[in-house]
Structure 1
Amino acid sequence: MEPSRIAVAGASGLIGGALARSLAADGHEVVRLVRRPPRTKDEVRWDPEAGRVDAAGLAGCEAVVNLAGAGVGDSRWTDTYKARIRSSRVLGTRALAEAVAGLETKPRVFVNGSAMGYYGETGERAVDESAPPGEGFLPELCVEWEGAAAPAQEAGVRTVFTRTGLVVSRAGGAWGRLFPLFRAGLGGRLGDGRQYWSFISLHDEVAAIRHLMDTDGLSGPFNLTAPQPLTNREITAAMGRVLHRPTLFPVPAPVLRSVLGEMAGDVLGSARVVPKRLLESGFTFAFPDIDGALKAAL
């Protein structure tokens, strides 16, 4: 894509921040959506929960990327926090999609975040984008989250959903918590370790989003996960190898449930998710295996 104006919601988050830096480094003008009064000309005001967007600030954008939302793993899943997770994603997506649909000159593409949580528990069964949604809080959230982008789709804007896996990074997400534990020699498998974890390096996550933005004709859901999901036991062994630390401290499932509450089901659950459509679109992973992804993060 030639240098252009691109709006990013969620630019203060792990993925959004990395994407904004990557785009700016290549000469794009990055417009950040913020919840406070704008301080610079590259900021646009929005209030996702209230459904308000300063649509005039999106004028001239070639692409709008929505990666905003309360962190799924940032707090115990109380009813209050689950409501916040839902409203921050569903209401924010709807507000942006409606703003995009109402622009006189519409962007070429609307990229909306989603998650591999769409598929729920898959056990040892590998799933691609053709699989139906699973059952439970996260699958129901993802269905509603993606559905909220309908105004942009109905207005003829090419719309992409990024069903992201566990992002390997020191800066946040699940791995942001795992790295310090493993460095201290306190890491180990979670539960029985047989559950599949579908991971992706932060580098490949950003590269995949940009590939989906830049490639005309790509729309709908794409799994952003490395080609070979691994079990938690295999990932634990890789962490020990790369960090040169023992991995002797497994965390029993009952302990995880007492500490994490309902969210423990997501940690102990198995999600064997493969990026079929992403690979078919011609995307090449820089770090397809876990050792490379871990070393890239370090």
Structure 2
Amino acid sequence: MAQTTIEQALKSSTQQLATSGSDSPSVDATVLLCHLLNQSRTYLLTWPDKVLSADQINDFHNLLSRRVAGEPVAYIVGEREFWSLPLKVSPSTLIPRPDTERLVELALDKATPLTGDILDLGTGTGAIALALASELPRHQVIGIDLQQEAQELATWNAHNLGITNVRFCAGSWFEPLPSGTKFALIASNPPYIDAQDPHLVQGDVRFEPRTALVADDQGLADIRYIATHAREYLISGGWLMFEHGYDQGLAVRDIMQSLGYLQVSTEKDYGNNDRVTLGMFSD
């Protein structure tokens, strides 16, 4: 029986993934093999001639078959990096995406000069809350998610990363907060995809929780609800910001301006698409 080296395994799996339609076949193959071997990418590059055992080859084929079927790599390996933080992920939460780091950048810009707590609504893995808490140790950050499983996952991530100025609650939007709670900044990556959007049956989102993706009113219902009620929870001069779809900037600005938010603007992501809209509350 012919032996298979790391280099050969990577080459054949990359070809297989490319044929299956992966957008990043080489990266996918590398991440899966690193996960299987519990080694770094540097290890694969350093030891390309290392022979894999029959069990390793069989296990690698099993991982590949899941990816070929379309399952996101992050769910297969149970982890995704966000803001240089390794986060445990599960099918109960959205997979953190690079474009959401733009929301973190804008939140840091607005929150840094302010005193007061920060709220992350629809926290999922805790990605946004943990990124902000890691950069703003003098601020307290609260993350809320509807799903108890997401709250437990985010809490696990905080503990694993040693981030102590953050806590997570389960509940619907503002529901878990005591009356009178105020924040300097509220950030949210809420469900914003229209139920009829064709992208829902394509790529990784087929495997992600629909409740974290889809909203009524052409994807705007949750944004409208949050913007309406956030006014009760923001300090005067505090900021509200949303991640949203590439074609929703105007609609989100209209919602926020109609509710009295000031300095409303839409910022672009790294792909030059409208991605984050923010505004300041003044009582």
Q: TM-score range by the shorter chain?
A: 0.3 to 0.5
Which protein shows a greater Rg? 2
* Structure with the larger RCO, 1 or 2 (CA within 8 Å, 6+ apart): 1
